[in-house]
Chain A
Amino acid sequence: MHKILLKEMLAERTWHMRLHAPLVARKCEPGQFLMLRIRENGERIPLTIADWDRNAGTIDIYFQELGATTHLLATLSVGDSVRDVVGPLGNPSEIEKVPGTFVMVGGGFGIAAGYPVARGFKEAGNRVVAVLGARTKDLLICEEMLKAVCDEVLVATNDGSYGTQGVVSDVLRTLLERGEDISLVFPVGPPIMMKIISGMTRPLGIKTVVSLNSVMVDGTGMCGSCRVTVGGKTRFVCSEGIDFDGHEVDWDEMMSRQKMYGTQESEALSNYHHNGACMGGSL
């Protein structure tokens, strides 16, 4: 059992939690994730490890209430526990000194997943710029955290309520136009955003590493639920990633596979709202 030590709402339906998980905290590196299961017969879901404290034995996760499991997770309070946490999983992001600027492009709650990588690149002596995107100002998360580890943080909101009006690709374009010498772009967020950013950088020959989020069961390479086509080859995101060359990913296939359980997920969510919530979250 893993106790919840901190819980805060960052934006509508978007949460930050700190869990006691000393084995994971001792070993994790930027770019890695964990599998979490709330209760007996609950499903296993992957979540990026956004931060950790090796001495205290704690890890930080960020999640948005999207389906039944994340809704249930959001009902838990400080002092409650989740049944299973296993990790760290996936390969750590390759952090190195690059000749030019490292740009982390974060969308939605994916920003939190980009945070440890941006911090890692900063610690490796790079110029680091973060481009953060949110639908509206109230939904933007982790801005202060990123300011602390980046040379520059730029924000785009769809409605223009904060930062530039538009999307993250607009900001990236502005960066390029002003002559920023970008060596590496690291988009993390919804696949459509990662696809657009990869499409933008490809003709420019700017190396683009993406952190993929696909459907997972075990997270250790034994099932292939998370598989994607990269450079024409089938690859397992959990064990061979989660980072891949964004220019090589078959995005349409990846986005299609993400919808494999769309019907079941909506049913589970509506069951949750009808029964789970009033039955004390028995989901």
Chain B
Amino acid sequence: MSSEAVKKKMANPRVHMPELDATVRSRNFEEVNQGLTYEQAIEEAARCIQCKGRPCVEGCPVAVSIPEILDALVNENLSEAARILQADNALPAVCGRVCPQEQQCESKCVRGIKGDPVAIGYLERFVADWAMQHASELPAEAPATATGKKVAIVGCGPAGLTAAGSLARQGHHVVIFEALHDTGGVLRYGIPEFRLPKEIIDQEVARLLDLGVTIECNVIIGKTLTLAQLRAEFDAVFIANGAGLPMMLNLPGENLKGVYSANEFLTRVNLMEAGRRDDSSTPILTGDSVAVIGGGNTAMDCVRTARRLGAGRAMIVYRRTEAEMPARVEEIKHAKEEGIEFFLLTAPLEVKGDTEGWVNGLTCQQMELGEPDDSGRRRPVPVPGSDFFLEADVVVNAIGTRPNPLLTAAAPELKLNRWGNIACDENGATNLPGVFAGGDIVRGGATVILAMGDGKKAASAIHRYLTGVNE
């Protein structure tokens, strides 16, 4: 590329994602981010300088061929961009929406050294959405030659779906076992539709079904079937059943009526459609003032959901400052625009209730930041005499999740670490031959893209295990 052309590229500012108006969207479940226009996407893709080092690819846990996709996009060859993207990433329309790109691919982009990195996430989303809308025009993937090997996948979340895609493309017969009545795992029950429309999950799952993957819902490994049964019937097993067990507050009053775990609150609203459809028969307490405890993406999802269900006051209660919040910057920004109140450096001491057993608020304590703790973050320390009462008729606990022991309790032969996560090597191999694991059941609560990275890595390891051949 001529230095003149590079200069021209460097002058273009990063594209801005069109969003729904905050006052309107804070009362509905429509997707906040509206996606780039065709012109915006082509122009943004042209900001990529096609650098030799390709650091963006290293920053992507599933190693999407980002420069090639952006190059195809610049040349307006959308079907080529779609082909490369879909081959590298089983769930690109999901990743384009929920990945923390600022910590991954975009954090490595050389354009970010001086100025803004290329909006890789927005472009990934654009290409994936284009591919979905033009699915019939895209050449069908050639089916892989069947290997005759059968692989069972436990859990239909991001790790399981990713592994299923990779393994099916290598010709293995894949069956996913899912405990809930629908697919997607946390994508379906956890992430609200204003961030990830269900239609997107359905379409991504449909692509896997087209590859020949079978999905069996309502089957709980550890209850309906055991790991031992799967090992007897399949050549390999990938366990990706997540970390779906809420950590409790362990505060007085946490069992009052109106106190939810984030998992329960979100499952009722997202999976069961409570409070959202007239024909949903699952109830939800909406609340006039809702306090959500925590500072991660799950807390943001809960508080923004509460607002959409009609809460006049929807509040975040977090014991550190905004700088320490694990939630994505974009989610915090969206929450603020939607009128969410932030009680920072605030720790709940007790959940208070009335004589009928209904929650009516939280006794909180003001905190200040002290010395750094083991994690390197400054430890919150209580300010003496700073107790105050925060009124709330619904409280949601979003402090985190732990691994669900249903499967592991029924499989004592499987080695765990001291936190109850499945112990495995960097390729996901457990102590049992042919049994691999990945995602939150290994990591504890982490991100969609890390789970997908585990799924992809484990799929390669499983392929090697089954065929003795590197891909």
Contacts and interface: CB of A to CB of B under 8 A. Distances in A.
A42 B267 contact: no
Contact of A260 (B219, B280, B285): B285
A23 B225 contact: yes
B466 interface: no
Interface residues of A, number: 41
A220 B277 contact: no
Instruction: State the 4 A-B residue pairs at the shortest beta-carbon distance, nearest first.
Output: A223-B264, A264-B283, A222-B244, A256-B357
A69 interface: yes
A187 to B, nearest CB: 22
Interface stretch (A80-88, A113-121, A152-160, A189-197): A80-88
B267 A257 contact: no
A101 B259 CA distance: 41
B261 A84 contact: no
Given A84-B181, A221-B406, A69 B254 contact: no
A27 B255 contact: no
A24 B285 CA distance: 32
B65 interface: no
A239 B406 contact: yes
Given A86-B219, A234-B254, 20 more contacts: A23-B224, A24-B224, A41-B281, A43-B272, A84-B181, A86-B181, A86-B224, A89-B220, A217-B272, A217-B282, A221-B404, A222-B244, A222-B404, A223-B264, A224-B246, A225-B264, A234-B250, A253-B357, A256-B257, A260-B258
A228 interface: yes
Interface in A230-252: 234, 239
Contacts of A227: 248, 255
B160 to A, nearest CB: 16
Contacts of A260: 257-258, 285
B232 to A, nearest CB: 14
B181 A224 contact: no
A69 B281 contact: yes
Given A87-B223, A88-B224, A223 B267 contact: yes
Contact of A218 (B219, B255, B267, B280): B267
A37 B180 CA distance: 11
B279 interface: yes
Given A234-B248, A234-B254, A261-B283, A224 B264 contact: yes
B268 interface: yes
Contact of B246 (A43, A88, A223, A265): A223
B74 interface: no
Interface residues of B, number: 40
A43 B246 CA distance: 21
B425 interface: no
Interface of B: 179-181, 217-220, 223-225, 244-246, 248, 250, 254-255, 257-258, 260-261, 263-264, 267-268, 272-273, 277, 279-285, 356-357, 404-406
A36 to B, nearest CB: 10
B281 A88 contact: no
Nearest to B282: A43
A99 B406 CA distance: 32
Nearest to A45: B281
A27 B218 CA distance: 14
B228 to A, nearest CB: 12
Contacts of B180: 218
B255 A234 contact: yes
B281 to A, nearest CB: 4
A165 interface: no
Contacts of B405: 221, 239
For B219, B223, B277, the residue with the greatest tally of chain A CB atoms inside 10 Å of its CB is B223
Interface of A: 23-24, 27, 37, 41-44, 68-69, 83-89, 217-218, 220-225, 227-229, 234, 239, 253, 256-257, 259-261, 264-265, 268, 282-283
A222 B179 CA distance: 11
A200 B5 CA distance: 87
Contact of A217 (B219, B254, B264, B285): B264
Given A44-B272, A225-B264, A220 B179 contact: yes
Contacts of A268: 281, 283
Contacts of B245: 221-222
Contacts of A261: 283, 285
5 contacts: A44-B181, A86-B220, A224-B248, A239-B405, A261-B285
Contact of A86 (B179, B260, B261, B284): B179
Contact of B218 (A68, A84, A229): A84
A264 B406 CA distance: 31
Contact of B267 (A84, A222, A253): A222
A282 B225 contact: no
Given A37-B181, A234-B255, A220 B283 contact: no
Contacts of A85: 218
For A84, A224, A256, A268, the residue with the greatest tally of chain B CB atoms inside 10 Å of its CB is A224
A239 B245 CA distance: 10
Contacts of B225: 23, 27
Contacts of B285: 260-261
A228 to B, nearest CB: 7
B461 to A, nearest CB: 28
A155 to B, nearest CB: 34
Nearest to A227: B255
Contacts of B280: 41, 43
B273 A223 contact: no
A220 B406 contact: yes
Contacts of B181: 37, 44, 83-84, 86
Nearest to A226: B264
Contacts of A88: 223-224
B240 to A, nearest CB: 15
A86 B406 contact: no
A42 B76 CA distance: 45
B268 A68 contact: no
B357 A223 contact: no
B246 A41 contact: no
Contacts of B284: 264
Given A43-B281, A85-B218, A257 B255 contact: yes
Nearest to B276: A41
